[in-house]
Amino acid sequence: ERTPEGKVFRLRAGAGESEFLRGKSTPTWGYNGSYLGPTLRARRGDRVAVEVSNGLGETTTTHWHGMRLPAVMDGGPHQPIRPGAAWRPVWTIDQPAATLWYHPHLHGRTAEHMYRGMAGLFVVDDGEDPGLPSEYGVDDVPIVLQDKRFHEDGSLDSSGIRFQGPSVTGLLGDEILVNGTHDPFLEVTRTRVRLRILNASNARVYDVGFTDDRTFALVGTDAGLLAAPVPLRRIMLSPGERAEIVVPFAAGERTVLRSRPPRLGANPVYERLAGGDDTFDLLQIRAAPRLAESPPLPARLADVPPVPAGPGTRTRSFVMSDFTLNGRTMDHHRIDQVVETGAVEIWEVTNAGGFPGNGLPHSFHVHEVGYRVLDVNGRRPPPHLRGRKDTVFVPPRTTIRLAMRFGPHSDPVHPYMYHCHLLAHEDAGMMGQFLVV
């Protein structure tokens, strides 16, 4: 809805029933429906207001993952929405085109709320479309990946969503939902289709490709388009990460989007417990008998200037071990970092490994800023980590240096979060708070 003050969206969090498995009803949560939420879309320069009302029986929050906005609008643990109440954040979109998303962020309850179905996409456009496929639902298709476990009666099995039993990274499901659909297929009608893939799972890491190993073009990562398309056969996505890929199709053909065992870098036991041995067929794709010809893939996509970090740039270190960040767990009353608006900083994130010897995989997400990966264990990052990012997978015994520029939003009171995006780890307190002043 467009009003004089800008674009107004309404989201209502509520409970409902979904039919994922034939003839079985699953109690779920969603925004404006029983599962997931609508794709919101706005362009750079838009003034945006969202009214989020809470029809759930418990407090939740709504965080805009990847969005640059004032800390009081961020929707983290400090912006609770009580049952029956509404929250109305307002901000101006000012960042490059990207596939962002929204989800709850109530401390200690994020894993549960997301597992029940609370998540949606927020697509940001800017005025600089390079000519990529962009007809939503036709040749520009969202792919929200989630894994679930079901009880016999169809209800969601959430055992292991916190640390119990053999769960080392949190709950792993044995069934896949794509956009809330079990056993899905997609019919394509153009010779090139852009997939905006979001890993909205609690803990599962996917290594996404096709059964026929076809080459696709990676055109965007979390926080924006790449400078130029990168040909790939696989892309690994940990929870919270996004990839925009453009896939070529020939008339009448069939293929399957498949996740192959991701390399998590853990010891063989933890590798298996964290899903490193698992293969899943995610989505069947059928090309129509006749396809409309798509324009060629543009050679240049966007201006992606480096973040100007150099030898004199301030560096902060973050060590992840034993479910802590720098030896501490989240404390709402403690500010862990204070940075200045406009400052360029390097955040050096190390997964130390931790007990018993060579540890668990983690990831690192920073609210508000977005960042560029400078290096991974001192080496140039692989192609899928060279673009704009806001969430990065951090395997055991790995140090990743991230360059970011803070601001323009400042607030001496309200913090933003940084944390591991494996939701059981986040809920267990692998999270810290920073102020931008």
How big is the site for ligand C2O, counted in residues (CB under 6 A)? 10
Q: Which residue is nearest to ligand C2O (CB)?
A: 65
In the block, tokens 């896939």 appear at 247
> Radius of gyration (Cα) for the chain, nearest Å?
20
Question: Is residue 370 a contact partner of residue 241, using CB atoms and an 8 Å limit?
Answer: no
Choose, by CB under 6 A, the member of 71, 188, 417, 428 that binds ligand C2O. 417
State the minimum distance, in angstroms, from the CB of residue 89 to ligand C2O.
Answer: 15
Which of 362, 384, 389, 419 lies at the binding interface for Cu ion (CB under 5 A)? 362
Q: To the nearest whole angstrom, how small is the minimum distance from the Cβ of residue 431 to Cu ion? A: 10
Asked if 367 touches ligand C2O (CB under 6 A), the answer is: yes
Helix, strand, or coil (residue 431) = strand
CB atoms within 10 A of CB 290: 8
The dihedrals phi and psi of 24, each to the nearest 5 degrees, come to -120, 140
The pair of three-digit structure tokens given for residue 376, joined into one six-digit string: 């991974």
User: Are 246 and 295 spatial neighbours (Cβ–Cβ below 8 Å)?
Assistant: no
The pair of three-digit structure tokens given for residue 278, joined into one six-digit string: 């698992």
Residue 8 C-beta: closest distance to Cu ion, Å: 22
In angstroms, rounded to a whole number, what is the distance separating the alpha carbons of residues 13 and 61?
Answer: 10
C-alpha 424/C-alpha 362 separation (Å) is 11
Three-state secondary structure call for residue 298:
coil
List the x/- string, 81-120, binding to ligand C2O by CB under 6 A: ----------------------x-x---------------
Backbone φ and ψ of 350, nearest 5°: -120, 125
Q: Which does 196 bind (CB under 5 to 8 A by kind): ligand C2O, Cu ion, none?
A: none
Residues 364-403, one symbol each (x = binds Cu ion by CB under 5 A, - = not), give ---x------------------------------------
Q: Which of residues 386-405 bind ligand C2O (CB under 6 A)?
A: none
Indicate the burial class of 423 (C-beta count within 10 angstroms; 0-12, 13-18, 19 or more). buried
Q: Which does 240 bind (CB under 5 to 8 A by kind): ligand C2O, Cu ion, none?
A: ligand C2O
Q: What is the contact mask toward ligand C2O in residues 203 to 242, using x (rule: CB under 6 A)? A: -------------------------------------x--
Give the burial string for 60-80 (b: 16+ CB within 10 Å, else e): bbbbbbbbbbbbbbbbbbbbb
- Residue 422 near which of ligand C2O, Cu ion, none (CB within 5-8 Å, type-dependent): Cu ion
Q: Minimum distance between the CB of residue 422 and ligand C2O, rounded to whole angstroms?
A: 11
> Is residue 65 near Cu ion by the rule CB under 5 A?
yes
Q: Which of 78, 242, 401, 419 binds ligand C2O (CB under 6 A)?
A: 419
* Residues at the contact surface with Cu ion, assessed by CB under 5 A: 65, 362, 367, 420, 422, 425
* Residues at the contact surface with ligand C2O, assessed by CB under 6 A: 63, 65, 103, 105, 240, 365, 367, 417, 419, 421
